[in-house]
Structure 1
């Protein structure tokens, strides 16, 4: 990998409803192999986006950082890197949710639906429905993190669903190399979004995974991002 992450603080942000525990399991091992220093700030459901941006700002006070995240975390990190080109040495984007305005993007619709269900039915009933409609590994992950972020979780979901991610035009101005991992069979985070991001950014590459792969081993997601980052910097 041409991007040298040895000793570089790498700030990675969780997806909507997920948490820093999952981020660590997805990225700690792969980043350790590069010598990077992982920082995974816990999501603050009462101020999700502002909390993430504050964590990125704080980490960058002592020098340039690598940034990234999963789903909405990836979108926030990419936007921060665009705003701080002198501070972002690389971007790792796992399962990017949409490009530009969320509109009817599946990830935004899912967040809105989950927020409504949580408000109407409560945490226990919503978690029961989650278990019935999701892969077992994903249901277990989200049931755990949802419980920890209750009762502010619906607020966080609605905030995420309204977030305007970097557009294709924005990503064309990204100076840091961008490594993207997208799942070929994820209906919530379509592969096409990852393809759009990779096509737009000048130094970007995409690696593909499957939901079964990351369900069996979350570190597959982090490894795919880092492999894509190596591809990106070769362009």
Structure 2
């Protein structure tokens, strides 16, 4: 009996980071994946405490038509890896940009930042929270935060808190992912330390990593997507 191996994935499902949205993740990944004739699927956040569960459901739905590449930015990368661990037969690869922690969030900078933002939104309201959060940050980041945070509506604080408290896969769990994985880091990003990305890279059996900088992403968001996709290709995708 002949066994037919599955062909390359036709779709990549990409998830946003904490407090981010589908608009940004699409600006990062759509063109780099399009160059490979892979369609970028970018689910919109479903605000509230069930944010991660909605992303997992979106991955399940997309994989109903066949295996997919999964990935995302920051929290979205965590959830994509979580889904891949539970669905090894439906995930042909991972593209993971800016992982923020592994295992329990603890005092990881991204988790601390998200908890503080959630409390700020609850105590001061979205307008004042945005004024504080965007004070002194680069203009591109202020624009991204303003659009994305307002898009979450009344579910913003719960969404930020849900991301801050959800464990990422542990290093031991990551070591079982025998699929091509591309990891991308920004070497000037204190919220998503490159040391964390390096720990993910070391744990994953078939991974490579490429880097860029936040100041580059600010003028060219695709730079982050190109780094992740190039690392995935070097790791053995799109098999």
Q: How would you bin the TM-score normalised by the shorter chain?
A: over 0.9
Match of 2:25 in 1: 23
- What is the CA deviation profile of residues 102-139 of structure 1, one whole-angstrom value per residue up to 9, with x for unaligned ones? 00000000000000001111111111112214222111
Counterpart CA distance in 2 for 1:174 and 1:133 is 40
| SS of equivalent to 2:35 | helix
Runs (4+) off by over 2 Å: 4-7
In 2, the alpha carbon distance for the partners of 1:91 and 1:5 equals 16
2-structure distance, mates of 1:142, 1:166? 26
- Residue of structure 2 in register with 1:208 after alignment: 211
SS of 2:44's equivalent in the other structure is coil
- Give the corresponding residue for 1:67: 70
The 2-side partners of 1:231 and 1:28 are apart by 19
Choose 29-38 or 5-14, whichever is displaced more: 5-14
Query: Structure 1 CA distance, aligned partners of 2:207 and 2:37?
Result: 21
Residues 20-45 of structure 1, C-alpha deviations (whole Å, 9 max, x = no match): 01111111111100110111000111
- Give the alignment partner of residue 125 of structure 1, picking from 114, 128, 132: 128
Aligned to 2:236: 233
Aligned to 1:42: 44
> Counterpart of 1:186 in 2: which secondary structure?
coil
Task: Tell me which moved more, 126-135 or 200-209.
Answer: 126-135
Equivalent position to 2:113, from 85, 110, 113: 110
Find the partner of 2:163 among 160, 174, 177: 160
Helix, strand or coil at the partner of 1:31: helix
Larger displacement relative to structure 2 (58-67 or 128-137): 128-137
Q: Report how many residues are paired.
A: 231
Q: Which residue matches 2:85?
A: 82
Distance 1:161 1:131 in 2: 19
Unaligned regions of 5+ residues in structure 2, if any? 1-5
CA gap of 1:98–1:166, structure 2 versus 1, over 3 A, is same
RMSD: 1.4
Task: Give the conservation status (yes or no) of the 8 Å contact 1:81–1:176.
Answer: no
Question: Which ranges in structure 1 are unaligned for 5 or more consecutive residues?
Answer: none
**In the aligned structure 2, how far is the partner of 1:118 from the partner of 1:190?**
25
Give the match for residue 181 of structure 2: 178
